[in-house]
Amino acid sequence: MRKLVLYISMSIDGYLATKDDELSWLSIVEKEGEDYGYHDFYKDVDAYIVGKTTYDTILKLTGGKLPQAENLDCYVITRQNIADKENITFYNGDIEQLIHKLKSEQGKNIVCDGGGQIVKLLMQKNLIDEYIISVIPVFLGDGKRLFIGGIDTINLKALSSKSFDTGLVQLHYSKQ
């Protein structure tokens, strides 16, 4: 069965972005030839889930394109009625139904790339199978949190942790 994996970065103090969705702080760990396992991870993924705010931020950063739509079936979770585009489904139904449907289908893993509201919804329903969190060596002090709260306790099993010379630490957990 397919797994839903949260694959995301956050600051040491738990933020996904600044209050105005600014992400330039992620560049402090950029290093030529280092992708932190991104390429290998995505070999086992064929579906991508993201919230509408994160989708809009990606479009601003990429000049109006969702790069993941070139290779993956993409689902943008929204409250709005938006017409689908090639490889992008704008979904405003029950997220639990969507995840159960995707997990029951043949295919590779499903990745979620945020944002905080979507992560909260998925965690409330205990739908995330694995968490891969890259902790960036910076304190933002304020911004948009990855883990918003308002969920029940979820016990996890540590699968691995990797430290990189850039200061990035990647944590990998699965639900028990």
pLDDT tens digits, 23-43: 999 999 999 999 999 999 999
149-174 average pLDDT score: 97
Instruction: List helix spans (H) across the chain.
Output: 38-42, 52-62, 95-104, 116-124
**Which pLDDT score, from 0 to 100, does residue 116 have?**
95
Q: Average pLDDT over the chain, rounded to whole?
A: 96
> What band does 144 get if pLDDT is binned at 50, 70 and 90?
very high
d(CA 170, CA 123): 20
Q: Please provide the CATH number assigned to the domain covering 4-27+35-147.
A: 3.40.430.10
Residue 147: name the closest of 27, 50, 10 by CA: 10
> What band does 1 get if pLDDT is binned at 50, 70 and 90?
confident
Enumerate the domain spans of the chain.
4-27+35-147
**Which pLDDT score, from 0 to 100, does residue 8 have?**
97
d(CA 137, CA 166): 8
Sign, CA dihedral 110-111-116-120, equals positive
d(CA 93, CA 121): 12
Alpha-carbon torsion angle 98, 118, 66, 131, nearest 10: -90
